[in-house]
Structures are given as structure tokens and as C-alpha cells.
A and B are shown apart, each in its own frame.
Chain A
């Protein structure tokens, strides 16, 4: 299993541009998440999904959108990039089987908005 994969690894955007961060998992997990990581701030939840077609906002959703058309894929969309969105973005997935949840993280996408 490849686990959770993310593309691209790095990206530089200009203010106002848009892009989609891709995330795919091959573990057949129902739950998927997008976090952003800023220095000294830990990870903050942007959006999450409990299954195909079901998404909900996390702690910091403004400026982002998501969709979940399949179990495997959970892309994150930035419509009008702003410098405040410069961050490292992590996608994660987890399975709720057996009452124990374990999140598996992808390698991250480092985004710079200039």
C-alpha cells in the first residue's frame, strides 16, 4: 500500500491564482482530513469528510473548498490564493473500525503565495 499520497510536493502561487491540492489514499478509509501546519501553531483542521459525498468544515475553512466524489480522493481547492495561505498542507485518512481511530498522514504540500 502506498498509504496517503499528495501532489504536488511544492508550489508557488501568485496572489489571486487558484489551485487544487490532490490527496489519494489506498487503505479504503472512510474518514479523510485536510490540515495546515504553520510554525509554532501545530496543525489546524481545514475540512474533513466521513465518506464519499459528505464533507464538513473544520477549524479554519475560509478560503478553501473540498469535494469527495470517491472513497480514495479528497482534493482541496484554493480559489483566490492569499499570502495568509502560505503553509504546509497535510492530508490524512483514518478508519473507525474497532472503536480505535488512527490517522495516517501524507507527506505534505508546501505552498507559498507571493
Chain B
């Protein structure tokens, strides 16, 4: 199966809160898991990505946690700010195979951070 399931569909937090977005995948051939951030009227932009040989990756206030055995990964946003309000997509691909970088996306999470 090629599906990537993402939850929740929407999320509202206060400034300084730590929103968590979860994704689950089925295809064990996936070996590259990026998160994209999309602002209204713009294309998705790569935020952070992880490969399955590590369980966690941090870049600034953004952290990916990865559980290979459960086939799940999640995005945590520390000290969230109103400027983080956007739609977030998880994705997966078989970067090392013949998938040529084709991404399978989750359904997206609309994050709203209130001041």
C-alpha cells in the first residue's frame, strides 16, 4: 500500500504551545520522510526531513520523531508562533529505489496558532 495517513485534520493552539501532527505509513520500502509547510496561495516548501536510520531530528523549533517498528512519524513544533499558522503535510518516498523521488502525501493538517 502507498498510503500515508495524517492526523489531526486541523489543530488550534495558543502561542507557545507544542502542536503535534502524526503520520502513519504502510509501505515498508519508504525510506525518506519529509514534512512540508504550505501558506495560503503558495506551494509547499520543505520544512524538515528524516531517514529511518535515526529516531529523531531537530531543526530549530521543529522536531521529527520516527518510530520504524510502528511505521509512524510525527512533527513537533516547539514554542509555536502565530507565523507558524499554515497547512502541514507529511510525505514519504522510496528515495533509494526507483521511485524517482515521487512523494506520497498525507491529507494535511491546518494549524492555527492564536496570539
Contact = CB atoms under 8 A, between A and B. Distances in A.
Interface stretch (B14-22, B41-49, B59-67, B76-84): B41-49
Given A101-B32, A101-B95, A108-B42, A31 B107 contact: no
B42 A107 contact: yes
Residue among B32, B41, B95, B101 with most chain A CB within 10 A = B101
A40 B89 CA distance: 11
Q: At the interface, is chain B mostly helix, strand, loop or mixed? A: loop
B93 interface: yes
B19 to A, nearest CB: 18
Nearest to A51: B100
A45 B36 CA distance: 15
Interface in A69-114: 90, 92, 94, 96, 99-108
A28 to B, nearest CB: 15
Contact of A103 (B2, B101, B107): B101
Interface of A: 4, 31, 33, 35, 40-45, 48, 50, 58-59, 90, 92, 94, 96, 99-108
Closest 9 CB pairs of A and B: A105-B43, A42-B105, A101-B101, A43-B105, A94-B101, A42-B107, A105-B44, A101-B95, A50-B100
